[in-house]
A and B are shown apart, each in its own frame.
Chain A
Amino acid sequence: QSVLTQPPSASGTPGQRVTISCSGSSSNIGRHYVYWYQQLPGTAPKLLIYRDSLRPSGVPDRFSASKSGTSASLAISGLRSEDEADYYCATWDDRLSGWVFGGGTKLTVL
């Protein structure tokens, strides 16, 4: 069972907006930045969002994220077929002294 809780699946049709939630606790999300990763099938994870809501260069502004208290969320607007991937939230956990990941959300574009 993952320290961070994500829904196992999400779906949407092209052009729609979908959100993925990530729930943690005071020892992790409540104290540290949240990061989001996109993992396309058969590839390594790619940093999508850092410091709660910032996008690395090259990441489309269709991807946005926010954090409040001990929860965070990732939003993808204007959904495209190439967004079909697994999405993971991550942060540092003070109690565990390590990085913790959500269980991952498989996004399906219908």
Chain B
Amino acid sequence: EVHLVESGGGLVQPGGSLRLSCAASGFTFSSYTMNWVRQAPGKGLEWISYIGSSGGPIYYADSVKGRFTISRDSAKNSVFLQMKSLRAEDTALYYCARQYSYDSNGLDVWGKGTTVTVSS
């Protein structure tokens, strides 16, 4: 069965850092582009980052560019999101979602998310 499991969320002070992980199972990880999408409390979905199946290309939303870094480890079937200089507005539920690299199937599987709270 296909699974994406996010972890690494928590409470962090403004200006702090956090590293999120997303562990994939049940599918050929190397065939999928991976994305991070977040949802602030009571708000809609906001895409924040994309990494191609081989580690590139990499894209970021303007709201996180220069502060967040996406990476992946094929040996661990995992994708990561290193977040620094965190702000209150980064408080959200962070989802990872897969995207088949060779067809237009969209973000077809999502994890349950991990919560990041930025507060003093």
Indicate whether A and B interact.
yes
Quick one: which of B50, B61, B104 contacts A50, CB cutoff 8 A?
B104
A102 B44 Cβ-Cβ under 8 A:
yes
If the complex has contacts A44-B110, A44-B111, A44-B112, are A101 and B104 also in contact, measured as CB distance less than 8 A?
A: no
Instruction: Report the bound CA distance from A43 to B110 in whole Å.
Output: 10
Measured as residues with beta carbon below 8 angstroms from the partner, the interface class of chain A is 20 to 34
Instruction: Report the bound CA distance from A96 to B112 in whole Å.
Output: 26
B residues in contact with A98, CB < 8 Å:
47, 50, 59-61
A33 B110 Cβ-Cβ under 8 A:
no
Contact with B along A99-110 (1 / 0, CB 8 A): 111111000000
Instruction: Report the bound CA distance from A29 to B61 in whole Å.
Output: 18
A residues in contact with B105, CB < 8 Å:
50-51
Instruction: Report the bound CA distance from A91 to B111 in whole Å.
Output: 19
If the complex has contacts A44-B95, A44-B113, are A100 and B47 also in contact, measured as CB distance less than 8 A?
A: yes
Is B45 interfacial (CB-CB < 8 Å)? yes
Measured as residues with beta carbon below 8 angstroms from the partner, the interface class of chain B is 20 to 34
A residues in contact with B104, CB < 8 Å:
32-33, 50-51
A residues in contact with B37, CB < 8 Å:
45, 99, 101
B residues in contact with A37, CB < 8 Å:
45, 107
B residues in contact with A35, CB < 8 Å:
106-107
Within 8 A of B (CB), among A69-99: 86, 88, 90, 96-99
Is B35 interfacial (CB-CB < 8 Å)? yes
Is B1 interfacial (CB-CB < 8 Å)? no
Is A56 interfacial (CB-CB < 8 Å)? yes
Instruction: Report the bound CA distance from A87 to B95 in whole Å.
Output: 17
Instruction: Report the bound CA distance from A37 to B35 in whole Å.
Output: 15
If the complex has contacts A45-B45, A45-B95, A104-B44, are A97 and B110 also in contact, measured as CB distance less than 8 A?
A: no
Nearest Cβ in chain B — how far from A4, in angstroms?
A: 10
Instruction: Report the bound CA distance from A99 to B46 in whole Å.
Output: 8
B residues in contact with A62, CB < 8 Å:
none
Name 14 A/B residue pairs within 8 A (Cβ), A-sorted: A44-B113, A45-B45, A47-B107, A50-B105, A50-B106, A86-B44, A88-B44, A90-B107, A96-B61, A98-B59, A98-B61, A99-B35, A101-B37, A103-B44
